Amino acid sequence: DIQMTQFPSSLSASVGDIVTITCRASQSISTYLNWYQQKPGKAPKLLVYAASSLQSGVPSRFSGSGSGTDFTLTISSLQPEDFATYYCQQSYSPPRTFGQGTKLEIK
């Protein structure tokens, strides 16, 4: 299985800040990397797919980059509704695997 490691596991930030979350794969996955946002009691929501493509309807303050084993999700100018848990997920091969999550909290 391909292991996905996210860091940090938690992060405190303020409205307006720029935030970066990192995800590392245990082997090269090209750009088969997706990012999801999950709020308490809700299903995950797709934000970014194929490492850097923004899903339709997702605000442009979200962006993704990377290839191979190292990836980042950046949120420019944090908004109150962005405080949530974020997961990366590899779609290179089954079994699909997720990072352990990064909880973004209000400072």
Partner 1 sequence: QVQLQESGPGLVKPSETLTLTCSVSGGSVGSDNYYWSWIRQPPGKGLEWIGYFYYSGNSNYNPSLKSRVTISVDTSKNQFSLKLSSVTAADTAVYYCARERRDGYKFDYWGQGTLVTVSS
Q: Give the interface with partner 1 as residue ranges (CB under 8 A).
A: 1, 32, 34, 36, 42-46, 49-50, 53, 55, 87, 89, 91, 94-101
Between 19 and 32, CB nearer to partner 1: 32
In the block, residue with structure tokens 């303050």: 61
Report, in Å, the least distance between residue 82 CB and partner 1.
19
In the complex, the smallest distance separating the C-beta of residue 77 from partner 1, rounded to whole angstroms, is: 25
Angstrom distances, CA of residue 88 to CA of 16, 60, 96: 23, 18, 11
Residue (3 or 77) nearer to partner 1, CB: 3
Backbone phi and psi for residue 70, each to the nearest 5 degrees, phi listed first: -120, 130
Distance CA 48, CA 26 (A): 20
